[in-house]
Amino acid sequence: MEVPSRHRPLLLLAAVIVSQILLLAFQIKRDSHVRLIRVWSVELLTPLQRGGTFVISKIEGAWFGYLDLRDARAENRKLTAELDQLRLQNQQLQSQAAQDVRLARLLGFRSENAGIPMLAAEVIGANADPNSQTVFINRGTSDGIRHNMPVITPDGVVGRIFEAYPHTSQVLLISDRESALGALLSGTRTHGVVEGTGGPLLSLDYVSKHEDIPIGATVLTSGEDRIFPKDLPVGTIVSAKPDFPFQAIRLNPAAHLNRLEEVLVLLTQKPFPLRPENEAQSSRRNSKALAGRQTAYASPAAHPVAPPAPERSLASTKPKPKTKSPIPPSAKKPRALAPPSLPKSSGAASAARAPIQQPGSQKVSPAKPQKAPAAKTSQTLPSKPQQNPQGNPHK
């Protein structure tokens, strides 16, 4: 291209000035000790590189995203299968992790109560009858499991051994209609009987309407049923409505009865050490409770069941609620003990007195717990323990 002669001086001027500017840029260094000409070069070329990269990435995206999809379907199928497999593995791992947590809690509980013989068991099945709240565990008589042994978790009471087979056992949950156990309020030491309702909540019966029942209070085992050791958590009060002559009290089970997986079978009825949160309340109320008991024990007629012996045998008696209720204690027994208004069978009443030997040392009771009809037709308190040695201690 030929430049017109009149423009040549101007062109030369531009060339000279530009060359000198470049010369200056070669000498000048900015703050970062980089020559100005290098800065200019980078700033001149970087946008071009950025633009080129952008264009190439778009072309690649269009090619691989829209045009080159020959193996996409097969790869998608393969990845989907792989994803399903990974999800399954993830679920298994999560389940295993949850199981580890539960087992760690069980182990911690056992370590805390090392002096109390107990046996860990796994829940392997439930009852097909929707009206019956029972589960099966993978321990049986060959493991030392005996009838009426208490079953717990670190959270609280679960139930008791209902049937013991050589390698499995059936556990009657405390939520079953047939179940009942002696209980007391952790704060006031008010005694009562916890019975199953067949639903998610339990019922605390035979508590006088004059008793002040705080919502949220913890209910513990009283040990008077001769099955469950004393001071095991049973549940927390969720509602208390006045009724005559007793209050209608509902409580939420402490143990997660609807998702049991591992449980502990207590091989003794030795009382558990009080937990710290219960210990303070218990000691504060202890003198008052003892005074109440001494008053109650002063009348033999009012307490046909003897006070618990220091070392009790399993299923030796039914729970004996102790309350300040105006109703005599004989009327405050669980359903197995039959309220005064209901007839009571002697078999159920005396079942608790059937001796069950401690594992390895005592005889196994041949008694089988009787279900509701027999229990609810019982008429009297177990004032005569020999009346029916094969009854259900609870019902």
Contact residues for other proteins (CB under 8 A)?
8-9, 12-13, 16-17, 20-21, 23-25, 27-28, 30, 36
| Closest of 200, 194, 246 to residue 218, by C-alpha | 194
Decide: 178 and 394 in contact? Cβ < 8 Å.
yes
- Count Cα neighbours of 212 within 13 Å in the Cβ-side half-sphere: 2
| CB-nearer residue toward other proteins: 20 or 295 | 20
Detail the DSSP E strand segments found in the chain. 118-126, 134-137, 150-153, 156-164, 169-173, 180-185, 191-196, 202-205, 218-221, 233-241, 248-253, 262-266
| CB-nearer residue toward other proteins: 34 or 101 | 34
Length of the chain, in residues: 395
Q: In the complex, what is the shortest distance from the CB of residue 62 to other proteins, in angstroms, rounded to a whole number?
A: 42
Q: In the complex, what is the shortest distance from the CB of residue 72 to other proteins, in angstroms, rounded to a whole number?
A: 55
Distances (CA, A) of 314 to 67, 129, 153, 219, 317: 78, 28, 19, 21, 8
Give phi and psi for 113, each to the nearest 5.
-120, 55
| CB-nearer residue toward other proteins: 39 or 103 | 39
Q: In the complex, what is the shortest distance from the CB of residue 57 to other proteins, in angstroms, rounded to a whole number?
A: 35
Reported as type and span, the H/E element at residue 85 is: helix 72-112
Give phi and psi for 115, each to the nearest 5.
-80, -10
Tell me if the bond preceding 245 is cis, omega within 30° of 0: yes
| CB-nearer residue toward other proteins: 17 or 42 | 17
Q: In the complex, what is the shortest distance from the CB of residue 10 to other proteins, in angstroms, rounded to a whole number?
A: 8
| CB-nearer residue toward other proteins: 25 or 201 | 25
Q: In the complex, what is the shortest distance from the CB of residue 67 to other proteins, in angstroms, rounded to a whole number?
A: 48
| CB-nearer residue toward other proteins: 26 or 63 | 26
Q: In the complex, what is the shortest distance from the CB of residue 9 to other proteins, in angstroms, rounded to a whole number?
A: 4
User: Which amino acid type is present at position 123?
Assistant: V
Structure tokens at 145: 């499991």
| CB-nearer residue toward other proteins: 30 or 50 | 30
User: Which amino acid type is present at position 301?
Assistant: A
Q: In the complex, what is the shortest distance from the CB of residue 38 to other proteins, in angstroms, rounded to a whole number?
A: 14
Q: In the complex, what is the shortest distance from the CB of residue 32 to other proteins, in angstroms, rounded to a whole number?
A: 13
| Closest of 72, 249, 260, 243 to residue 154, by C-alpha | 260
| CB-nearer residue toward other proteins: 14 or 238 | 14
What is the rounded CA–CA span in Å between residue 308 and residue 306?
A: 6
| CB-nearer residue toward other proteins: 36 or 103 | 36
| Neighbour count for residue 135 (Cβ, 10 Å) | 23
The SS3 call for residue 394 is coil
Q: In the complex, what is the shortest distance from the CB of residue 54 to other proteins, in angstroms, rounded to a whole number?
A: 30
